[in-house]
Chain A
Amino acid sequence: MGLIVAQILTGLANAAALFLVASGLSLIFGVTRIVNFAHGSFYMLGAFIGYSLMQVLPGAIGFWSSVLLAGLLVGVIGVIVELCVLRPVYKAPELFQLVATFGVILVIQDLALMIWGAEDVLGPRAPGLKGIVRIMGEPVPKYDLALIAITPFVLFGLWYLISRTRVGILVRAATQDREMVGALGVNQAWLFTGVFFLGAALAGLGGAVQLPKGGADLLMDFNILAAIFVVVVIGGMGSLPGAYIAAVLISVLNVFGVAYLPQSTLVLMFVVMAVVLTIRPYGLLGREEVVGEHGQVGEPEQPIKPAGVKARIAVALLLLVLALLPLFGSKFATILATDIIIFCLFAASLHFLIGLGGLVSFGHAAFFGGGAYAAALLVSYVNAPMELAFLLAPLCAGMAAVIIGWLCIRLTGVYFAMLTLALAQLLWSLVFQWDEFTGGDDGMVDIWPAEWLSSTTAYFYFTMIVGIGGILFLRHVAHSPFGYALRASRDSARQAEATGINTKRVQWMAFSFAGAMAGVAGALFVFSKGSVFPVELEIARSFDGLIVVFLGGVKTLAGGVVGAAFLELVKDYLTRLEYWRLALGILIIIVVILAPNGIVGSIRKLAQRSGLVKNHYE
């Protein structure tokens, strides 16, 4: 009994930091509609800055003022990020800003590395709260009790701010209808900045306050990112009490998970989220998101047309040059080109979902990695010839997409995104922890192509035919009746349903199709590398896909492919630098600001302005 109480208390204490960070994310999303990937970075900065301050400021007063100061400073950093990076791109299509925040993550990672070094930092114990208290015979750290006591006050303070003050009224009004708030004479820009300050400060506080328990390291930004998204989604976007309940739920369950079912720890929160979203599609205390409620941001999408003769000739020439690469390029260049084509196919399949279907999936890597693992398992366990494994892999990925899609497609918007993320995480942890079957962390090796494809050049041509064939097929489907039905379901589900289109089924099929195409990319990948590791199923891989789709231009057909090629090439060059993340992050931010319609979208705009291409909107 005592042990259980002690574990619940530990869970409650762990919930403190989680709640602080998650409530900040929830506020920022609620008002600005920005999915702030960089929120974990604010949390990390709070920890490092708090640590440095605690080195200078002595005693209990020094400790607690360090915590507060860390929050304040991170808030200011949040304001700088908002002003310099996000303000220029508010007019961009929805979710485009997440690319910018991804750039911020990279920049902050390398800056933290420069300032605090690669070593993990052990947090100082809180003066006056160093010991333990025995509760029912079990030791409970005093600091845990302090955290448990503080959190409700923070919750109450935030609740008071949001529901009882004038600022809070504005924030809530902006959460519901920011155009209206703007029309009523509230300076939206500064409201956004203010909310960003508050949200970042909460993340910083969370980072600093958990120092005595967890310290600070360079991985904590990504480590908490998934958890806070889960908390916000379980609680219901924009609901502070919801975030608190979810933080407690996740933390307490996690403590018990560690104690009784250690294998569960990686997935537990995702299972909880999947269950909650299946029962309550808008989280515990969330409100239904009406599609289109917040209006279309940015210009409407332009109608698509099959490429004209000139464009076809240009593409054919480009492909011809590419096909000649093994003749004049180095082996390294051929391998790089192979990698790029594979990544382009992956990006194109995700772009099909996002660009045409408006289905923003945060878990598309599940099907890329799924295809790769399916092929690897077939080769390893049933000794399948490469050709057979290659054919079955996309089918397996497609089947996974059928199941995951069936669960997710009922949800919309950010809830849909989060459920795809959760289920992808489930698949990842299955692969990661099922050592004896999948090799776990060690991955699967010795998965080589058949004899006739064993040379680099042969495999390059194989990749070119299958990969580029896949990309062209995706493009064709965009122009086919199915592609049109998918766009119709996105543009006006009401009209589509009223004219005989089963929109959910169309979206489900699109999800499955895109999953199978990602599976093709995965199969190409595993045979080109000869091995596959769980990292191919990870959130980071899904985010790679997202980034390039938006970077390339979500509202253009070629966006995914162009974005993928651009990022792979740039990465290949930049990763030779010591602080390549900093360089890449800054580059992404610059591209985002210069090309708010994505690379392809902005080039098209330029071409239209200069009269090279006809503009439908004149």
Chain B
Amino acid sequence: MNESANDAVLDVRGLSKSFGGVDAVVDVSFTLQRGELLALIGPNGAGKTTCFNMLMGQLKPSAGKVYLNGENITGMAPRRIWRKGVGRTFQITGTYSSMTVVENIQMALLSHHRKIYSMMGVAHRQYRDEAMQLLQLVGMQDQSERPCAILAYGDLKRLEIAIALSHEPTLLLMDEPTAGMAPQERIALMQLTADIVSEKNLSVLFTEHDMDVVFAHAHRVMVLNRGQLIANASVEEVRNDPQVQEVYLGGGTLFKEQGASHA
């Protein structure tokens, strides 16, 4: 295979990470196509977040390569990967608590337009319209002037999505976008994401615990267990994969029941 044999947005090959003898991620390879919504699932401690942190540059892989649109981005600093058109949201939200909601997005826009070292002008007034449009996209325009510190958790998650979209990325990485949200909120948030993805022709890789969310929205599902990919297939195939069922439910039958709700 050449450096970039396929036209995948993201091409991951043999990615591994060990922390002092513990193999957190072992030889993970997959590709992500344009416009695809790919879910990465797996039990707690399977290595999902470690995977994410390696893709986005927060962690250096022990082995393996990551190609973004054919370019090797392995071990690049997060801010450089971001500049190449990758947005990410965090499992535990990270927002600027001393700023208003809209200013949080303006900050990302300022960075995108390479204005962060500028001492000219008033930041509060710059790229305001763009920021408001992004807020509208996630349905938060009414809250634009609220201090970020008092937002509800679900709103913080939505704000993070707006921040992640601010530089018009081609790839969005979302680490447990619906964790800690009420069931209704989850559906709404993922519906929102799916709409944005199809509207902007984005590619998305996301991790998720809620199978309803995964099965309702993902185009393809990968299952990670103890650091290894044990499945990478369509929703239907993964749902019926006995190994996946074993990992998730210890061989129970709940998995097969359509629309079963989970705690």
Binding site for B on A (CB under 8 A): 296, 300-306, 476-477, 479-485, 487-488, 490-492, 494-502, 506, 509, 616-617
Contact indicator B82/A499 (Cβ below 8 Å): yes
Chain B residue nearest in CB terms to A484? B123
Q: How far is the CB of A73 from chain B (nearest CB, A)?
A: 44
CB of B200 within 8 Å of the partner chain: no
Contact indicator B121/A480 (Cβ below 8 Å): yes
Contact indicator A485/B107 (Cβ below 8 Å): yes
Contact indicator B98/A303 (Cβ below 8 Å): yes
Contact A483/B123 with A495-B163, A616-B150 known, Cβ cut-off 8 Å: yes
At the interface with chain A, which of B29-37, B108-116, B207-215, B233-241? B108-116
Binding site for A on B (CB under 8 A): 56, 58, 77-79, 82-83, 88, 90, 94-100, 103, 106-108, 110-112, 115-124, 126, 146-150, 163, 166-167
Q: Whole-angstrom distance between the alpha carbons of A506 and B111 in the complex?
A: 12
Q: How far is the CB of B118 from chain A (nearest CB, A)?
A: 5
Contact indicator A305/B116 (Cβ below 8 Å): no
Q: Whole-angstrom distance between the alpha carbons of A481 and B124 in the complex?
A: 8
Q: Whole-angstrom distance between the alpha carbons of A277 and B199 in the complex?
A: 51
Which residues does chain B contribute within 8 Å of A484, judged by CB atoms? 99, 103, 106-107, 110, 116, 123
Contact indicator A481/B116 (Cβ below 8 Å): yes
Contact indicator A485/B116 (Cβ below 8 Å): yes
Contact A501/B97 with A479-B122, A488-B107 known, Cβ cut-off 8 Å: no
Contact indicator B95/A492 (Cβ below 8 Å): yes
Contact indicator A306/B124 (Cβ below 8 Å): yes
Which residues does chain A contribute within 8 Å of B56, judged by CB atoms? 498
Q: Whole-angstrom distance between the alpha carbons of A34 and B98 in the complex?
A: 24
Q: Whole-angstrom distance between the alpha carbons of A296 and B149 in the complex?
A: 11
Which residues does chain A contribute within 8 Å of B163, judged by CB atoms? 495, 499
Give chain A's interface secondary structure class. Answer: helix
Contact A480/B79 with A300-B97, A491-B98, A500-B111 known, Cβ cut-off 8 Å: no
Contact indicator B111/A492 (Cβ below 8 Å): no
Which residues does chain A contribute within 8 Å of B146, judged by CB atoms? 616
Chain B residue nearest in CB terms to A491? B96
Contact A301/B95 with A499-B82, A500-B167 known, Cβ cut-off 8 Å: no
A-B CB contact pairs (8 Å), 22 listed: A296-B97, A303-B148, A305-B124, A306-B122, A479-B123, A479-B124, A481-B119, A482-B117, A485-B107, A485-B116, A495-B94, A495-B96, A498-B56, A498-B58, A498-B78, A498-B79, A498-B88, A499-B82, A499-B108, A500-B116, A502-B79, A617-B147
Contact A499/B119 with A300-B97, A487-B96, A494-B90 known, Cβ cut-off 8 Å: no
Contact of A301 among B77, B97, B107, B115 (CB under 8 A): B97
Contact A481/B121 with A300-B149, A500-B167 known, Cβ cut-off 8 Å: yes
7 nearest CB pairs, A to B: A300-B149, A495-B94, A301-B98, A485-B116, A491-B96, A492-B94, A484-B123
Chain A residue nearest in CB terms to B114? A500
Which residues does chain A contribute within 8 Å of B83, judged by CB atoms? 500
Which residues does chain A contribute within 8 Å of B117, judged by CB atoms? 481-482, 485, 506, 509
Q: How many A-B residue pairs have CB under 8 A?
A: 126
Contact indicator B90/A495 (Cβ below 8 Å): yes
Q: Whole-angstrom distance between the alpha carbons of A487 and B96 in the complex?
A: 8
Which residues does chain B contribute within 8 Å of A488, judged by CB atoms? 96, 99, 107
Q: How far is the CB of B80 from chain A (nearest CB, A)?
A: 8
Q: Whole-angstrom distance between the alpha carbons of A498 and B123 in the complex?
A: 20
Which residues does chain B contribute within 8 Å of A477, judged by CB atoms? 119
Contact indicator B123/A481 (Cβ below 8 Å): yes
Which residues does chain A contribute within 8 Å of B121, judged by CB atoms? 480-481
Q: How far is the CB of B32 from chain A (nearest CB, A)?
A: 19
Which residues does chain A contribute within 8 Å of B111, judged by CB atoms? 485, 499-501
Q: Whole-angstrom distance between the alpha carbons of A483 and B124 in the complex?
A: 11
Chain B residue nearest in CB terms to A505? B117
Chain B residue nearest in CB terms to A483? B123
Q: Whole-angstrom distance between the alpha carbons of A502 and B116 in the complex?
A: 9
Contact A500/B79 with A485-B116, A495-B163 known, Cβ cut-off 8 Å: yes
Q: Whole-angstrom distance between the alpha carbons of A553 and B37 in the complex?
A: 48
Which residues does chain B contribute within 8 Å of A479, judged by CB atoms? 122-124
Q: How far is the CB of A451 from chain B (nearest CB, A)?
A: 34
Q: How far is the CB of A485 from chain B (nearest CB, A)?
A: 4
19 new A-B pairs (CB below 8 Å) besides A496-B107, A616-B150?
A: A300-B150, A301-B149, A302-B98, A303-B99, A303-B103, A480-B121, A480-B122, A481-B115, A482-B119, A484-B103, A485-B107, A485-B110, A488-B96, A491-B99, A494-B94, A498-B94, A499-B79, A499-B112, A500-B79
Contact indicator B150/A617 (Cβ below 8 Å): yes
Chain B residue nearest in CB terms to A473? B119
Q: Whole-angstrom distance between the alpha carbons of A301 and B166 in the complex?
A: 24
Which residues does chain A contribute within 8 Å of B120, judged by CB atoms? 480-481
Q: How far is the CB of B128 from chain A (nearest CB, A)?
A: 13
Chain A residue nearest in CB terms to B102? A303
Which residues does chain A contribute within 8 Å of B94, judged by CB atoms? 492, 494-495, 498
Which residues does chain A contribute within 8 Å of B107, judged by CB atoms? 484-485, 488, 496, 499
Most B CB within 10 A of own CB, among A479, A483, A484, A487: A484
Q: Whole-angstrom distance between the alpha carbons of A492 and B149 in the complex?
A: 12
Contact of A480 among B90, B95, B118 (CB under 8 A): B118
Contact indicator B82/A498 (Cβ below 8 Å): yes
Which residues does chain A contribute within 8 Å of B106, judged by CB atoms? 484
Q: Whole-angstrom distance between the alpha carbons of A500 and B78 in the complex?
A: 7
Q: How far is the CB of A133 from chain B (nearest CB, A)?
A: 50
Q: How far is the CB of B158 from chain A (nearest CB, A)?
A: 15
Contact A495/B118 with A481-B126, A500-B82, A501-B111 known, Cβ cut-off 8 Å: no
Contact indicator B96/A492 (Cβ below 8 Å): yes
Contact indicator B100/A303 (Cβ below 8 Å): yes
Q: Whole-angstrom distance between the alpha carbons of A480 and B148 in the complex?
A: 19
Q: Whole-angstrom distance between the alpha carbons of A481 and B99 in the complex?
A: 13
